[in-house]
Structure 1
């Protein structure tokens, strides 16, 4: 749960979100009165949490394990009456319910899901796939949806839409379109939810009574997660609990909510009392994912569907019941983060190794500053050489001290190059840059952009010329965050022959170097890597302070990289509008004033748009995550696109 800033409330629908719950009620077999009471208790609990849609298990009004009692008319009649009572209940509580019920129609009995909202029974969906092997015997009692003879069913004398071809659309929330399947439907080779998603269902609901056996919990989680990812949807799964009959089976009540492959919430298993799990699903995000997915666009649903409208209450909340990661590129779990670092490092080294194999190069040139990015690039290069069986002396590491170089970074660069067994060259650039200032008539005491960029371009010239000398490639060191902000000198550090860090955001670079210090290297190299991790981020283009320490600190100028990487993820990966990016940033950075977040968000949008021209001629480099800015791959944007629309929306929020 993530609290909003100062406890202020937000309307979830304004941001394309829905608060959804799954429930496993305490249950008595064939005791509809008791079961109805528990359903209402859970619905009230959910309503108090501003949950606006609550899913219950298969046949929850009667119990899944009634067996031949399903044929008893008193049970059937009481279930129908309970549905009418639930409709009246939803009018007062303003929560939509989806419950399971055995219902008779045209001389047949069906295992049904019933959507009830705002005082009305909105529609009834019968189960399609009826398991009839092993422990299951459903075809003894129920008919399949394929055997229905009408599109309507009578409940309390009213004609209610009936069929497996129903989808439910919230009247004032068009992104909320619901498809329903029941238990075995999800385990079928071609689940109904697949076609439902292809015609627009963003929220897939499954009412289930899945008995527990060894290993089934993990399989169920994988199934729900995978179906939500495959359908680019939110998938809610509510399962019957241990109060079902234990004659031959045990039910666990394992209910889950997933969104596009991620489990957001789940209930505790084997609990005899009522269980409730709630999460906020981002339906706007799912619509956006589908619009960008060509495979989804090319899909063809197997069935035609009828759309049934229903009214869904809005939710004003003071917290989000979904994770909002402060560092979306960096997992908080140590083990997961280490595994990700290992995978990224392998991708980087493999990409460079392939380029070296293709070009036949046994020599490379790399500018080594003693900062994070160039250090990571050197480590990647060393390991790529090792993988190819090449002599590390073929790596020409050049440190080029200039006006802002400190002894700390210069010393770390020299020690790393020597300890790693590469060739080290020290080429001071002061005299060359001063000569250049004289040539172009620039006052060297004027510390402006010309003063800074002249140094960056001089260093790149040295690297390119040495590469010609040794017949090798220049390895680029710039990272993904710098490219997003355009924090690189055009035709300076912007240019290389292969950029190994182009897919790695700044917040992750530090963790990669730290991981290398712990897992890939040892001794003196490890010690230096740790010190590099503790060094402030700086291009070192302005003179040090009076103590010889770094005076020019990047984040004081361009803004915190932690914040910019957050923006980068939300804007490029999620394609969120400024209002939603700001709202999420306020949640993730609750310790930061709104005005400061707004300041850096304006800076991000301005720089991201204005600096596209640098990305339009980006050197090759490996994509390693879901966010990449290569003009040949993930991000295509005109260099002269206008940022006004985004900044105007942002200003309207001030």
Structure 2
């Protein structure tokens, strides 16, 4: 439960219709099984103590009384279980029979939530047996004690304030205005649904989309426990399919037609952070009543998986679709800018590296959209002290293959003159030596753009901007930065996607060789003709930095939490000391380099994370990193 993670579970017991004692034993058995796995919130299906398909047997006093007695037994026999447990049963109150979710914890029934929307169509006849719980707010009597009874109850963990839970039952989710919307507005971060949803062809996909969609719409966790095998098959079949979702992401899904338990580690810190960020998320406690309960705060053994490349879809089809979409967004952004300034020419500095390659590909697509000839794209290669034959050759061949105009401007002599003017020793390969080359290249590009009445297209990517790995007023500057919100790990996939789909074998070969070239600014002389300055040796692996960036900026994780999930995600790749080293480097660079991001040129937003000072990141340039580094030091 530390760092916001709470293990939740949805269980489908093997019920016998109208056999409350058997069902109670099965529920207790599954509670014990979930306890061993560390689940702190446990959810069972609708009417699971009796079975959902009892039909007119629900009118039998014996069945209703037996269900009530079995609930008391379940409560007593699980009093030592450290969890909040939801079980379904028929319950008589004030002369009416309700379909309720009983919330149980530490030997006490905390409250009963009656179902509001009772289906009475198709194969469902619930209004024949049950009353709606809409507007009910009362006290019921169970085993001689008063129990809260109503549809507006939120169960709040006193020693973990972000764990707030509310319940709805089956059909409540399927209606036009689900009760869970009000639950979430009143402060519930987790919605549990006790369900008995029968099977039909295609219904599983719709059920899954409902749960995912509701968790996204309400920015919450959602646990859906469905009835399964054991219910009467007189006219219906129940297939289980338990689901756990968090803010639109499916954390766990049970197999259909198989009674089982599914587990998920819901991140309540992330849910709270996301709600704070969304200023349109409406909060209204209204007439809701908070019901306190307490759990032991302990480490949650994580089973949840975190994508090592959170900016890149793992599914190949989704990845291809995403790549094509991003290329279009980049091209459409540049298209609008060129059309607005009545520009018919563009200037791109082409180095033979990944970023400039992507920028040139995007520019070519843009000119195709505008109906402009590609020869109006001026691709400028500017060899200097660190340029290798491999990158130079790729830059030239790529430009020719795309049909752009190639211009070579050797800047060695201009940089040497500059060294003389400022008294820089050419043998001293310091930051001045490197940045003088980068600024000279930018000056050349800007002046060539003036000559041809064109626009300089920037090549720097999101990862470089996050780390400040750009020369201020050098490659940091352009007239429109098409890659500004594309992280390095995604740049690779975009170029690879283009290589696979361009239907030009030679172009594909060039792009694949670019992908195989080490990432480098090539500002230091090569060694034996090979790149001597490898970026990832200096600032760290981009796959780690992109992982850090996503979970820090998009999700709002603390350094300790990022370190924890990074160690879990990359345990087969990096040791913990290496991860900690680069995480410290990431925070130090991110905070110290904000001044560069405060004056970025325009560029299109393609994903949920950007560092534009006009968009997603409003950060002071002089913010202190001490709090974040201190937390890492404490480890």
Residue 174 of structure 1: aligned partner: 161
Q: Aligned equivalents of 1:439 and 1:460: distance in 2?
A: 19
- Larger relative contact order (C-alpha < 8 A, sep ≥ 6)? 1
Q: Please, which of 64, 69, 73 is the counterpart of residue 85 of structure 1?
A: 73
Q: Aligned equivalents of 2:233 and 2:75: distance in 1?
A: 31
Q: Please, which of 599, 603, 611 is the counterpart of residue 585 of structure 2?
A: 603
Residue 22 of structure 1: aligned partner: 10
Q: Please, which of 89, 92, 98 is the counterpart of residue 110 of structure 1?
A: 98
Residue 450 of structure 2: aligned partner: 468
* Aligned residues of 2:190 and 2:221 also touching (Cα < 8 A): yes
Q: Aligned equivalents of 1:594 and 1:146: distance in 2?
A: 53
Q: Could you tell me how far 1:76 is from its partner in structure 2?
A: 1.3
Residue 563 of structure 1: aligned partner: 544
- Tell me the alpha carbon deviations over residues 275-318 of structure 1, each in whole angstroms, 9 at most, x when there is no partner: 1101100011000000000110x4556x4200001122445344
- Superposition pairs for residues 172-571 of structure 1, below 5 Å? 172-271=159-258, 274-296=259-281, 298=282, 300=284, 303-318=286-301, 320-545=302-527, 547-571=528-552
Q: Could you tell me how far 1:133 is from its partner in structure 2?
A: 1.7
Q: Aligned equivalents of 1:218 and 1:183: distance in 2?
A: 16
Q: Aligned equivalents of 1:412 and 1:224: distance in 2?
A: 49
Q: Aligned equivalents of 1:643 and 1:57: distance in 2?
A: 48
Q: Aligned equivalents of 2:502 and 2:11: distance in 1?
A: 47
Q: Could you tell me how far 1:326 is from its partner in structure 2?
A: 1.2
- Any runs of at least 4 consecutive aligned residues in structure 1 with deviations exceeding 3 A, and if so which? 298-301, 313-318
Q: Could you tell me how far 1:154 is from its partner in structure 2?
A: 0.5
SS of equivalent residue, structure 1 residue 295: coil
Q: Aligned equivalents of 1:529 and 1:120: distance in 2?
A: 65
* Aligned residues of 2:597 and 2:611 also touching (Cα < 8 A): yes
Q: Aligned equivalents of 1:99 and 1:288: distance in 2?
A: 30
- Shifted more, 348-357 versus 372-381: the winner is 348-357
- Shifted more, 35-44 versus 463-472: the winner is 35-44
- Supply the RMSD in Å over aligned alpha carbons: 1.2
Residue 5 of structure 1: aligned partner: none
TM-score, scaled relative to structure 1: 0.95
SS of equivalent residue, structure 2 residue 235: coil
Q: Could you tell me how far 1:483 is from its partner in structure 2?
A: 0.3
SS of equivalent residue, structure 1 residue 474: strand
Q: Could you tell me how far 1:551 is from its partner in structure 2?
A: 0.3
Alpha-carbon distance change, 212 to 472 in structure 1, aligned in 2, over 3 angstroms: same
Give the unaligned 5+ runs of structure 2.
none
Q: Aligned equivalents of 1:195 and 1:596: distance in 2?
A: 46
Q: Could you tell me how far 1:184 is from its partner in structure 2?
A: 0.9
Q: Aligned equivalents of 2:284 and 2:19: distance in 1?
A: 43
Q: Aligned equivalents of 2:230 and 2:485: distance in 1?
A: 51
Residue 65 of structure 1: aligned partner: 53
TM-score, scaled relative to structure 2: 0.98
* Aligned residues of 2:186 and 2:283 also touching (Cα < 8 A): no
Q: Aligned equivalents of 2:28 and 2:188: distance in 1?
A: 27
* Aligned residues of 1:19 and 1:315 also touching (Cα < 8 A): no
* Aligned residues of 1:90 and 1:96 also touching (Cα < 8 A): no
Q: Could you tell me how far 1:147 is from its partner in structure 2?
A: 6.5
- Tell me the alpha carbon deviations over residues 308-356 of structure 1, each in whole angstroms, 9 at most, x when there is no partner: 01122445344x2222111111222222221211111111111111111
Q: Aligned equivalents of 1:521 and 1:430: distance in 2?
A: 37
Count of paired positions: 634
Q: Could you tell me how far 1:242 is from its partner in structure 2?
A: 3.1
